[in-house]
């Protein structure tokens, strides 16, 4: 796995089933927001943007999703299909969510509240910003 994909593995207790725990220091930021994504149209591309400031961790609690991360220079991908493994979506990382299954249920925790202005949805603008950072 390259430097773009950074996974968080949450501790899991077998307890008549499994119980997975997310807390500091496993979550590397203060959580200001969380949201779920589910009942998606299968295989419809989601994401396709980056954030100026918001850092996030995406967990695929059920089903699977192929995450493609891009820092403006390199791309890497990973299939998420385990409820205790999350991928860090850092600020200024373009992310595509692909091959979403009908039963896929995703939980995303975020470092900032929702702000439309935090989104970069134009890939050319993203390339300009990230190349300026190098
Ligand atoms: C991300 C990936 C992983 C809100 O009103 N509040 C919110 O907190 C969020 C996250 C979304 N919305 C609205 C904005 C849109 O009208 O929900 C609608 C769907 O959002 P979007 O098209 O951005 O959904 P995704 O699945 O492409 O992206 C989402 C998050 O928006 C995004 O921040 O990183 O999941």
Reported pTM: 0.96
Which has the closest alpha carbon to 85: 37, 23, 20, 40? 20
pLDDT of residue 54: 98
pLDDT tens over the chain, length 134 residues: 668 999 999 999 998 999 999 998 889 999 999 999 999 999 899 999 999 999 999 999 999 999 999 999 999 999 999 999 999 999 999 999 999 999 999 999 999 999 999 999 999 999 999 987 65
Cβ atoms within 10 Å, residue 3? 8
The alpha-helical segments, DSSP class H, found in 1-134 are 123-132
Catalytic residues: 49
Q: Which residues pair with 94 in a beta bridge?
A: 70
Cα-based torsion angle of the residue sequence 124, 110, 105, 122 in order, rounded to the nearest 10 degrees: -10
Q: Which of 31, 32, 33, 35, when mutated, tests ligand 1's pocket best, judged by the most ligand atoms within 8 Å of its CB?
A: 35
pLDDT of residue 134: 58
Q: Whose CA is nearest to atom 27 of ligand 1?
A: 47
The span from the CA of 34 to the CA of 60, in Å, is 13
């Amino acid at each position: 796995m390259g430097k773009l994909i950074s996974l968080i593995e949450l501790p899991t207790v077998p307890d008549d089933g499994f119980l997975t725990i997310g807390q500091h220091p496993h979550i590397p930021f203060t959580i200001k927001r969380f949201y779920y994504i589910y009942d998606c149209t299968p295989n419809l591309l989601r994401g396709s943007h980056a954030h100026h400031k918001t850092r996030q961790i995406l967990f695929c609690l059920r089903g699977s999703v192929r995450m493609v991360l891009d820092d403006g220079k390199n791309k890497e991908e990973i299939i998420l299909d385990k409820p205790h493994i999350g991928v860090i979506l850092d600020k200024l990382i373009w992310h595509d969510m692909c091959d979403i299954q009908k039963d896929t249920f995703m939980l995303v925790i975020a470092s900032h509240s929702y702000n439309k202005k935090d989104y970069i949805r134009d890939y050319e603008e993203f390339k300009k910003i990230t190349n300026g950072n190098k």
